[in-house]
Every structure is written in C-alpha cells, then in structure tokens.
A and B are shown apart, each in its own frame.
Chain A
Amino acid sequence: MYAALWRVLPGPIWVRIILVLILVVAVLAVLATWVYPWIDGIINNQEATVGGA
C-alpha cells in the first residue's frame, strides 16, 4: 500500500521525501482540525464531576 504510494510519487528521491512529508502534515492537519475533535465529542471519556452531572 505505502510501497505503491511511493512508486506513484514522481521525481527523484528527495522530491518524493518532500512530497511524503507534505502528505503526512496534511493528514495530521485534517486529523487535528476535524477528525479528532469529532471523535472527542463522541467518546466523552473524561468525566470530572461527582454525581455524573
């Protein structure tokens, strides 16, 4: 899967490394901005009150 991605990427090796880093940063940004806050709202595993308020 990731090997296939690596082969799809164009250019010499250092261009591919830069492209991979850009992709990783983009994925992290999407996760931190939308995906993780959404999951956070669903699981609500951090109750801090007494009496389950």
Chain B
Amino acid sequence: MCPQADDPTSPVPNGIESSSAAAAVSEPAVAAEEGFKRPRRAKAARITVVGVLGELLITAGVLVLLFLGWQLWWNDMIMANSQSEAASQISQDWIAQDTSTAEPAPSVDPAEPNAAAAPADYGVPVVGSAPANAQAFAVLYVPRFGADYHRTIAEGTGHDVLNSNRLGIGHYKGTEMPGEVGNFAVAAHRSAFGGGMHLINELQLGDAIYVQTADGYYTYRYRDTEYVAPSQVQVLASVPNNPTASAVDRIITLTSCNPLYSTAERIIAYGVLESWQPLSAGAPAELAPIIAAQG
C-alpha cells in the first residue's frame, strides 16, 4: 500500500482500492485477512466516556458479587476452620491441665468406681464464675451440626467475639453459666463469620448439646425452637419468656439469625441440662470419639 501514497493521482491505487472494496463485499474471508488489524485498532483506540463508565459499572457489579461470595463462602469457610481449630486447642489444653493437676481425684471421688457400670451421678454441676469480656470459657459440641463441630464460647456478644477468627460463639452477659439453674444463653452467626449456628434449624427433639468447660462436661438435650423479633430479649430470661418467674430448670438457649442470610428474625433453640460430669470422668459416650479425634 506504500507506493500509492507517493502518487495519489496515479490510477493504480484507485484500481487497488476499488478491487479491495469489491473483495470486501464479495469475499469476506479475504477482506478480513487483509484488513483485520487496521479497522479493529482504529475502533478500539477510541476511549469514550460512556464506554469507560459502562466498564466501571460492570466492574463494580462484579466486585459486589465477589464480596458476597467472599463473605458467605470463602471467608466463612476460613473462619469456620480457624474457629474450630482454636476450640480443639482450648479443649485439649483443659484436658491436659486437668489430668496433670487433678490426677488423684478419681480415687478420692466415691462416684468414680461406678462410672463404668452405670451413668454416674456427679451431684450438682460445678458452675464457673463469669469470665471477662471476650474470654473463652467453654467449647460447644453439637453432633447434629456435624460430627466435627466444635466452637469456642466466649463472654459477651459483641463483634469482638462473634466476628472473631478464634471465638465465634458469644455468651450473653448477665445470663447464667453452664450447669447453673437458669438460662445459659449464647449467640452465633447463622451465615458468614464461620456460621456457628448455620444448622440451628436442623435440631431435633433430644439432640445432644454438649458444653465443655475447664470443670467438666454439661450435656443438654434440645427441646424446642421458636422464632422471635430481634427485640425480644425475654428469651434470655432465667425462665425464657417469663422474666418474673424464679428459675428451676438448667436451660441452654442458642440464638441466631432467621431466615438464613437475613437478619429479619431470630431463631431461638432451647435445651435442658440432662447430666454433668467432671473432666476427670472423661467425655460422655457420644462425645468421647469427637474429643479423642481432636488430639
């Protein structure tokens, strides 16, 4: 094409021009081969405001979708794993400390020889004192949430507990402690941040809810679920929904969001204490393999 620029008046370029134009109409394949780069580049080089704006808006949409994927799946999975690992660590530490410090306890404990024969009665559950904010004091096991489900319970229900990589389940301040007469109430996210209560709606009557502390194992049995408005704090009362009554039962209350991926309501699951045993007595039968698998 260079020679024709030297002599624009020459009839030859005109001839080429018209022949190539004719080729473009009659033979698209040849035209594409000849002039592929040039027209395409000329078009792509034009950066328009509308074009850039459009691309930015599409990018923004993609980034928002990616955020949801990150929050609800990727980060949720990472946090669930790290919370689970931290809970295993705490549980193992307690067991290790307990056997090292309280080794002679079984021989002193009169209930211990009967432990293998029948479910021993270890008397009134030991109740720990209220820990400081964000301090881990218990590990929650709910086989219905998965055989390897275990999460740390820490004091308080602020973001420093619920959104923590290490904790995840928060104990409502002012509610009772594990094993205590009254209401041991905890909260966790339903989705994202490790989703500690993701499967709370799957609980069935009689399902075990185990709480392990530095003192022992508290076995609760799931009883019922209710759905309430986020403002309904009466579910945290020592006798749930009856703040003026004096407590008799030892209750555990799990609270989370409902519906899944929404915060419009709260789902509340109640359980009642079935038994208690000290750490030195070992874990309850269903829990023993789960505890052993942590080591």
Q: What residues of A have a CB within 8 angstroms of the CB of B47 in the complex?
A: 1, 3-4
Nearest CB in chain B to that of A31: its residue:
B66
Grouping DSSP codes into helix (H, G, I), strand (E, B) and loop, the B interface class, with mixed when no group exceeds half, is mixed
**CB of A32 closer than 8 Å to a CB of B:** yes
A1, A4, A46: the one contacting B189 at CB < 8 Å is: A46
Whether the Cβ atoms of A3 and B255 lie closer than 8 Å is no
Bound Cα distance from A7 to B188, whole angstroms = 50
**CB of A14 closer than 8 Å to a CB of B:** no
Q: What residues of A have a CB within 8 angstroms of the CB of B70 in the complex?
A: 31-32, 36
Contact A46:B263 (CB < 8 A) given known A4-B47, A36-B67 = yes
Whether the Cβ atoms of A47 and B230 lie closer than 8 Å is yes
Grouping DSSP codes into helix (H, G, I), strand (E, B) and loop, the A interface class, with mixed when no group exceeds half, is helix
In the assembled complex, the CB of B166 is this many whole angstroms from the nearest CB of chain A, namely 15
Whether the Cβ atoms of B75 and A36 lie closer than 8 Å is yes
Contact A52:B257 (CB < 8 A) given known A32-B70, A36-B67, A46-B192 = no
Bound Cα distance from A48 to B236, whole angstroms = 14
Which bracket fits the contact residues of A?
Answer: 20 to 34
Bound Cα distance from A17 to B235, whole angstroms = 57
In the assembled complex, the CB of B82 is this many whole angstroms from the nearest CB of chain A, namely 13
In the assembled complex, the CB of B119 is this many whole angstroms from the nearest CB of chain A, namely 34
Contact A50:B230 (CB < 8 A) given known A31-B70, A44-B159 = yes
Nearest CB in chain A to that of B71: its residue:
A40
Bound Cα distance from A52 to B266, whole angstroms = 11
Bound Cα distance from A53 to B55, whole angstroms = 41
In the assembled complex, the CB of B182 is this many whole angstroms from the nearest CB of chain A, namely 16
In the assembled complex, the CB of B72 is this many whole angstroms from the nearest CB of chain A, namely 10
Whether the Cβ atoms of A39 and B67 lie closer than 8 Å is yes
Whether the Cβ atoms of B52 and A50 lie closer than 8 Å is no
Whether the Cβ atoms of A28 and B66 lie closer than 8 Å is yes
Bound Cα distance from A3 to B41, whole angstroms = 10
Q: What residues of A have a CB within 8 angstroms of the CB of B228 in the complex?
A: 50
Q: What residues of B have a CB within 8 angstroms of the CB of A39 in the complex?
A: 67
Q: What residues of A have a CB within 8 angstroms of the CB of B231 in the complex?
A: 50-52
A9-34 near B? 1/0 per residue, CB < 8 Å: 00000000000000000001001100
> Could you list some 24 contacts between A and B, CB below 8 A?
A1-B51, A2-B55, A3-B47, A4-B47, A7-B41, A7-B44, A28-B66, A31-B70, A32-B75, A36-B67, A40-B75, A44-B159, A46-B191, A48-B190, A48-B257, A48-B263, A49-B157, A49-B170, A49-B266, A50-B228, A51-B231, A53-B157, A53-B172, A53-B187
Q: List the interface of chain B (C-beta within 8 A of A).
A: 41, 44-45, 47, 51-52, 55-56, 63, 66-67, 70-71, 74-75, 157-159, 162, 170, 172, 187-193, 197, 228, 230-233, 235-236, 255-257, 263, 266, 268
